[in-house]
Amino acid sequence: MAAVLSNPYEPAYALTSSSRICPDAPMTPGPCSASSSTMSPAEIVSVAARTTISQSQAYTRSTTARDPSRYVDPEHAAAAAAAAAAAAANAASRQLSHHIQNKAQPQPQAPPQAQLPQVPQQQHRSQAPQPHNAPAQQPRPAPQPQQAGAEQRAQPKSLISFNVGSRYKVCDVIGEGAYGVVCSAIHRSTGQKVAIKKIQPFEHQMFALRTLRELKLLRYFQECDVSENIISILDIIKPASYESFQEVYLIQELMETDLHRVIRTQHLSDDHCQYFTYQILRALKPMHCAEVIHRDLKPGNVLLNANCDLKVCDFGLARSLLTAEEDTGFMTEYVATRWYRAPEIMLTFKRYTKAIDVWSVGCILAEMLTGKPLFPGRDYHDQLSRILELLGTPTLEEFYNINSRRSRDYIRSMPFKKRQDFRRVFPMATAEALDFLTRTLTFDPKKRMTVEECLEHPYLAAYHDADDEPGAPPLDPEFFHFDMKKNSVTKEELRRETYDQIMEFQPLLR
């Protein structure tokens, strides 16, 4: 499995996939069972989750413990993961061959690869593919009694330090990062499976800013009732007192996997690509209506469950466009994964717009259609070169929209490149998909479609319903007041505002 490519500054927010998210979860047959050829369309996500538990946990522990002062090149992580997977496969093959020779048995035939069924054409989002023919769940044996303290001793240290009270049964650690841990848990009263993020944001001002940003934005979209495709906060553990307040515990929906992992393990039909793209845009619409840009859209920040329900997560880099021009450090924190960055981010255009997110949507759709990243640049220069290789040399108008003289000089030094024919780059894409890609992956951000135009595009006609795509009121500029003065705001001020946000929150789980 390829390593997930993530923002090195990113907190441990995105959930990893697991078929045993909690110890009490039943075991399910593997993807190569006899019924694999009759998998339902919605099972593509659960298959990806079941087949990658060990790899995803290993990835999470190894790639999310990041140092904000260093950048971990995703190319190195991907190469290391690929080499490890190849070595493991070769070792397993040699062991199997040796065993067969000793037993004088014929070589067994490999089971045929399961083919994903086609998704029936949808006329409305409410008719989205639903799971059917789900494999029967196998009962788990009753747990054996343990001596007092044995369960606690068996738990990882990070679980033992989860102070969430008696309302939640903490299960497994599913992610660790530079300043936080994510675990799965069960709400004891309802039996609902949830994810709990333990964040320690006050060791660094950047962490505190991101935590407060995400907390306020998620609360705002929930209060506006527009968060169906945005990850929700179900509960927040309230601290005993302000004096003892050092940790934040967010209880959120538990999603089985993310889009990155699904793309790496399954072939997606065009219908699946349409449905996932539609849901991403449906999450973006309230953000952009509120004059907020996400700034870090990528497959790893798109969570999925077995019903193909999609949630956009990780709002730590999100910012208000209303305050961007007053914030001289608007882009200093921009460390989103290079592969999904719009060209204006790297070339320092005169103004940044919502088109930043639309570019990322185009990159994600291209990756779903081909199964591989569209612009996997090794570094800044290689990233820009790959973009120009596809889109061609910028026009004179586009060239003078670049604010940085150094960037203009760099482009001027490059050989002229002709725009490639998208029909050759995406040979399996439909005419509607090609047009959608053409109008989202344009060098000039002013020529890209808006989110509303994307939703109305013929490529998404099967799901588009203007009455079921809510927006959100624009945010007051004071909403992000801490960003406008982030060079002078103290960690104690951020801690106080975070505490107030938590104490005001009304939980959805009781």
119-128 residue pLDDT tens: 445 545 555 5
Residue-wise over 349-370: b if at least 16 C-beta within 10 A, else e? Answer: beebbbbbbbbbbbbbbbbbbb
What pLDDT sits at residue 7?
Answer: 34
Give mean pLDDT, residues 51-63: 44
Fold of 267-468: Transferase(Phosphotransferase); domain 1 (1.10.510)
Q: Give the number of other CB atoms < 10 A from CB of residue 319.
A: 23
Instruction: State percent of the chain over pLDDT 70.
Output: 65
pLDDT in tens, 178-224: 667 889 999 999 999 999 999 999 988 889 999 999 999 999 999 99
Question: Cα separation of 218 and 312, whole Å?
Answer: 11
Residue 61 in this model has a pLDDT that exceeds 60: no
8 Å CB contact between 39 and 308: no
Greatest mean pLDDT range, 124-138, 148-162, 367-381: 367-381
pLDDT for 168 beyond 50: yes
Of 167 and 38, which is predicted with more confidence? 167
Q: What proportion of the chain, given as a percentage, has pLDDT over 90?
A: 50
Which pLDDT does position 93 carry in this prediction? 47
Per residue in 420-456, pLDDT tens? Answer: 999 999 999 999 999 999 999 999 999 999 999 999 9
pLDDT in tens, 232-259: 999 999 999 999 999 999 999 999 899 9
Among 386, 395, 398, smallest CA distance to 425 is for: 386
299 pLDDT band, cuts 50/70/90, is very high
pLDDT at 403: 81
Is the per-residue pLDDT at 356 higher than 70? yes
Token pair 């907190």 is found at 11
Backbone angles phi, psi at 127, to 5 degrees: -100, 20
pTM: predicted TM-score of the whole model, two decimal places: 0.72
User: Does the pLDDT at position 273 exceed 60?
Assistant: yes
Lowest-confidence region among 16-20, 463-467, 492-496: 16-20
| Three-class HEC string of 16-44 | CCCCCCCCCCCECCCCCCCCHHHCCCCHH
Q: Please give the pLDDT value at position 45.
A: 52
- Residue among 208, 200, 228 at smallest CA distance from 128: 228
pLDDT of 145 reads 38
Q: Is the pLDDT of residue 277 over 90?
A: yes
Q: Which of 172-176, 299-303, 352-356, 415-419 has the lowest mean pLDDT?
A: 172-176
Q: Are 226 and 175 in contact (CB under 8 A)?
A: no
pLDDT of residue 5: 32
Rounded CA separation 153/202 (Å):
29
Residue 198 known to bind ligand: yes
Q: Report residue 492's pLDDT band, with 50, 70 and 90 as the boundaries.
A: very high
How far apart are the C-alpha atoms of 274 and 379, rounded to whole Å?
30
Cα–Cα distance for residue pair 230/302, rounded to 1 Å:
9
Q: Count of CB atoms within 10 A of residue 294's CB?
A: 26
